[in-house]
Amino acid sequence: MPGLFDRLDKEIKDRQKEGGISPLDLAALPPALRRIMRVMLRELSASYPRLCDAVDSMPEKDRLSRPELDSALSDLTEQFWLIRIGEKEKAIYKVNLRRKEGSKLAAGIWSALENKLKGRS
Amino acid sequence: MSDGKIVSIHSFRGGTGKSNTTANLAAQVALTGKRVGVVDTDIQSPGIHVLFGLDEQKMGRTLNDFLHGAASIREVGFSIGENPGEGQGRAQLKGSQLFLFPSSIKGGEISKILKEGIDFNVLNEGLQTAISEFDLDYLFIDTHPGLNEETLLSIATSDVLIVILRPDTQDLQGTAVTVDIARSLDVPNLLLLVNKALPKHDPQAIKAEIESKFDAPVTSVLPLSFDMAENASRDLFSLCYPDHEWSKALKNVVPFILNAK
């Protein structure tokens, strides 16, 4: 029987399939959001208090107020660029990176290539 | 955030000597006593494993297996310190804490990635987990030349980005693009490394010109070397010939990495 961790893991994986942010989108974000996205990418996930700490350590000109941070996190979550587990102070956030699409070449080309390669090995 | 630093090595164009430089730099940093990983994210055209003496038989689990959920990142990490293989240069790595995370060189595995794409959440998890599970001080990422999405991801998460370029007009234009993108992704340490400079030109003049053009430090100017070409990726050149001009110039880059904030 799956435990709490397994269920949360499944929930995250299901949500990750629903879109996500591309590395190029990251470059287009405002500086403060880019920095908190970087924290989440490096730490794989971050709690709300951790993100508040990250914002507080930014240069004053880039720093977000708490309402601005809350609003940004909410917007990013709605776009599926972030995945949120839990609510408010207890929320955990994780970046949802968009999958790199496979080649659009006709499927027949790949199976022909695969057969050819199998024949060689 | 883990204390381990990500060092991405990139070039806008192919043929700049990126994999050779990455392997030699990683080895030099490992020889200072640091724990070092090298990951080959050039999944379409992997090659850095050759410099560490690996072939299809010796390779074991690969990054491709990890991306397909068939292996953990722990299983992919290949200890060069325990298996330095043959070669007088690589032999010096025996006992070092240097780990290679190779990409598969099987045609079927490469075509599978091209066909199915890459889950970047899994790739990023692999990079960060490699740092924590192997307790790495530095994770070097050998990227695919040009700007594709996996390269952009590695740039976005890097602490140090080293852009390799030749003193060539096409390279200079491409490097300008890479530098712009790296700046827009807030890479904390953006460094340049010139390779294949003609010996008749003054390295200091090349360094000054490129630093002025890109407003970024040039860590070293490596000469174009027939000796290096003759080595043909058989071994780690800077370990085989430590007193060669190319090796001495390469070693100038190491303090930039060790002192990066």
Which of A38, A42, A98 is opposite residue B120, by nearest beta carbon?
Answer: A98
- Give the mean model confidence (pLDDT) for residues B130-140: 98
List of chain A residues whose C-beta atoms are within 8 Å of the C-beta of residue B160: none
Q: Which residues of chain A carry a pLDDT beneath 50?
A: none
| The length of chain A, given as a count of residues | 121
* Average pLDDT in chain B: 95
Say if the Cβ atoms of B186 and A34 lie within 8 Å.
Answer: yes
The ranges assigned to domains in chain A are 4-120
Mapped onto helix, strand or coil, the DSSP state of residue B118 is strand
The ranges assigned to domains in chain B are 5-258
List of chain A residues whose C-beta atoms are within 8 Å of the C-beta of residue B2: 42-43
CB of A66 within 8 Å of a chain B CB? The answer is: no
Architecture of domain B5-258: 3-Layer(aba) Sandwich (3.40)
Q: Is the dihedral of CA B156, B162, B166, B168 positive or negative?
A: positive
Say if the Cβ atoms of A97 and B124 lie within 8 Å.
Answer: yes
Mapped onto helix, strand or coil, the DSSP state of residue B217 is coil
CA A105, CA A56: separation in Å to the nearest integer?
A: 48
The CA dihedral of B76, B126, A11, A102, to the nearest 10 degrees, is -90
Q: In what order do the strands lie in the sheet with B189-197?
A: B78-79, B98-101, B36-40, B138-142, B5-10, B160-165, B189-197, B218-223
Tokens representing A30 are 């405002």
Query: Which CATH code, of 1.20.120, 1.10.150, 1.10.1660, 1.10.10, is assigned to A4-120?
Result: 1.10.10
What is the interface pTM, i.e. ipTM, of the complex? 0.89
Mapped onto helix, strand or coil, the DSSP state of residue A102 is coil
Say if the Cβ atoms of A35 and B186 lie within 8 Å.
Answer: yes
CA B113, CA B68: separation in Å to the nearest integer?
A: 9
Question: Tens digit of pLDDT for each residue in B144-158?
Answer: 999 888 899 999 999
* Phi and psi angles of residue A105, each rounded to the nearest 5 degrees, phi first: -60, 150
Question: Tens digit of pLDDT for each residue in B12-39?
Answer: 999 999 999 999 999 999 999 999 999 9
pLDDT at position B86: 86
* Phi and psi angles of residue A47, each rounded to the nearest 5 degrees, phi first: -80, 160
Which of A27, A102, A114 is opposite residue B184, by nearest beta carbon?
Answer: A27
List of chain A residues whose C-beta atoms are within 8 Å of the C-beta of residue B117: 99-102
pLDDT reading at B246 higher than 90: yes
Residue appearing with tokens 């045609």: B107
